[in-house]
Structure 1
Amino acid sequence: MANSSWQQFRDHRNQSLPSPHGWLSLTSLQWLPNEPGKLDGVPGLWSVSGELAKVSATAQDGLQVLSSEAPLDGELRAELAENESVNWLRFGTVLIELAKRGGSYAIRTRDSAAPTLNGFKGVPTFDYADEFIADGQFVRYPTPQLREIATANPRVPGQAEIVGEISFELAGQSHTLLAQQNGDDLLVNFHDTSNGEQTAGWRFLTVKAPDDAGAVQLDFNYALNWPSGFSAFGTCPRPLAENTLDVPVLAGEKHL
């Protein structure tokens, strides 16, 4: 039976996800060409020149510069650092985000009229189950380990700073997950054998800060999808190979 705090958590999740230009509104991820050219679903000519992203358009094309709320009539340039993103332009119901990933510039379009957003009725979940709550022990590394990781997009490399390990038992088996810091809490990004069938390709779980003895509790009923679980246009981090649970975790969010 679901407890009240979990139900409140689910209600908040389902209320916050369908924001007009949130993760459910993604409609494309397109890499900017080296020579000025057109992109799908948006007007203008787009390109990269050295360290700059560029777009040129006339006022009649209907692109609006978000920083000034003025029509774009001419050329607009921007320079971003790696992994930086900025909401750059608007075209009707479409918000155009500029991002730099893996040394390349891309735009990601977020449409408040997207079918995924307008058809959203909540993320399906498994029923709350006590069997997917596990007591664990966290051991912090003397020094965090920076690891190279893959992401949801093959063109986008990633990194994860691993701060320690959580050991626990689930489904009668012993498991260990590598943890990242998430404010005062910990975050574990994990695969399990339900992925691709009942659940998305992978999920993550926030674990409350360990006590002074390193004790933690993992409640997989709170396992969440990354944005890439809702859209093909996310660039979310994939779990490290060590974070694969060889049991089905039939708790938390299912695929949309």
Structure 2
Amino acid sequence: MSTSTAELDRLTQRWDCFRTGRNAALAAPHGWLSLTSFHWLPAAPSALPGVPGLWSFDGTTAYLTAAAEDDLSMVSSGQPVLGTVTAELSDEESLMWVASGSMVVELGMRANRYMVRTRDAQSPTLASFSGVPAFDYDPAMVVTGSFTPFDAPRPTPIATASPEVPGVAVLAGEVSFELDGIPYTLAAEEGALGSLVITFHDASNDVSSSHWRMLELTNPRPDGSVAVDFNRAINYPSAFTDFGTCPAPVPGNTLPVAIEAGERDPRK
């Protein structure tokens, strides 16, 4: 079905607003583009490259010991870190814990191991950012799909962007749709406020798009129908930085065609 010029203009304007919001979120001072390092915490108090203080963990507790010359302060209160502070997280949780100058140190638990990542508002990646490259809006990449929920959520092992971090996707069901008359089915997870999230491979990966992408769909309608708009396919943080631990698609979530819609590979 053809799209009128007026309707195409309206849809393109909505997509432009989406792109503006997406780029603004990525440009946050301590967002994903500010990552500058990743370190696993050692068992014995130790210095980490580029991170002030002495860091360690013991069981479920992370420890940081700092002196005045380390110039560290708590993100939550702004109080200086003098002596030892502790924190406890569950797997997949993160905490913007301490700051030093333009840098914030994120404490996280991944694969039941403590890690820290530095986020620097003056990072070269953030400083050079002018927006994520994207394919032009294509109305043909908007189709109607049908969501079939599973009887119960299905935890499924997956890889992640880090070979040291295994992951699990909790699948809520499957979304079926057609592109150019060919049917496809992809597994979906539940997103925020009842939406659906699909992480997928396609034939454009590592050519014009990144290694994989994700797409958030509308909430399923009462009849199970959903809007599948590949123009809104976005990169995971691992497309921008080597320090991401982003989830890879579940086995089978691969489209044999090139989805040249949504975000391109920002490193090409």
Q: TM-score range by the shorter chain?
A: over 0.9
Equivalent residues of 1:171, 1:247 under 8 A apart: no
* 1:95 corresponds to: 104
CA shift, 1:236, in A, is 1.2
* 1:65 corresponds to: 74
Query: Which sits farther off after the overlay, 209-218 or 5-14?
Result: 209-218
2:188 paired with 1:207: no
Tell me, in whole angstroms, the C-alpha distance in 2 between the residues paired with 1:246 and 1:167: 15
* 1:173 corresponds to: 182
Equivalent residues of 1:152, 1:238 under 8 A apart: yes
* 1:227 corresponds to: 237
* 2:195 corresponds to: 185
Amino acid at match of 2:145: G
CA shift, 1:191, in A, is 0.5
What are structure 1's unaligned runs of at least 5 residues? none
Pairing partner for 1:45 from 45, 54, 59: 54
Give the secondary structure class of the aligned counterpart of 2:173: strand
| Structure 1 residues 130 and 67: alpha-carbon distance in aligned structure 2, compared to 1, 3 A threshold | closer
CA shift, 1:210, in A, is 2.1
Question: Under a length normalisation based on structure 1, what TM-score does the superposition of the two structures give?
Answer: 0.95
CA shift, 1:65, in A, is 2.2
Give the secondary structure class of the aligned counterpart of 2:164: coil
Equivalent residues of 1:53, 1:77 under 8 A apart: yes
Q: How much identity, in percent, do the aligned residues show?
A: 46
Give the secondary structure class of the aligned counterpart of 1:255: coil
Equivalent residues of 1:158, 1:237 under 8 A apart: yes
CA shift, 1:172, in A, is 4.0
Give the secondary structure class of the aligned counterpart of 1:121: coil
Tell me, in whole angstroms, the C-alpha distance in 2 between the residues paired with 1:115 and 1:191: 29
2:117 paired with 1:108: yes
C-alpha RMSD of the superposition: 1.4
Cα displacement string for residues 140-193 of structure 1 (whole angstroms, at most 9, x for unaligned residues): 122221212221112222221211111111144221101111122211110001
Cα displacement string for residues 58-110 of structure 1 (whole angstroms, at most 9, x for unaligned residues): 10121112233222222222221222211111111100011111111110110
What are structure 2's unaligned runs of at least 5 residues? 1-7
Amino acid at match of 2:252: E
Amino acid at match of 1:50: G
2:254 paired with 1:252: no
Tell me, in whole angstroms, the C-alpha distance in 2 between the residues paired with 1:81 and 1:184: 24
Tell me, in whole angstroms, the C-alpha distance in 1 between the residues paired with 2:107 and 2:78: 16
* 2:250 corresponds to: 240
Equivalent residues of 1:34, 1:49 under 8 A apart: yes
Question: Under a length normalisation based on structure 2, what TM-score does the superposition of the two structures give?
Answer: 0.91
Cα displacement string for residues 177-236 of structure 1 (whole angstroms, at most 9, x for unaligned residues): 011111222111100011112111111111112222222221100101111111111111
Tell me, in whole angstroms, the C-alpha distance in 1 between the residues paired with 2:108 and 2:124: 23
Tell me, in whole angstroms, the C-alpha distance in 1 between the residues paired with 2:175 and 2:77: 48
Equivalent residues of 1:140, 1:165 under 8 A apart: yes
Amino acid at match of 1:53: A
Pairing partner for 2:146 from 122, 137, 141: 137
| Structure 1 residues 70 and 211: alpha-carbon distance in aligned structure 2, compared to 1, 3 A threshold | closer
Q: Which runs of 4+ in 1 moved over 3 A?
A: none
Pairing partner for 1:21 from 25, 30, 37: 30
2:175 paired with 1:196: no
Amino acid at match of 1:119: S
2:152 paired with 1:118: no
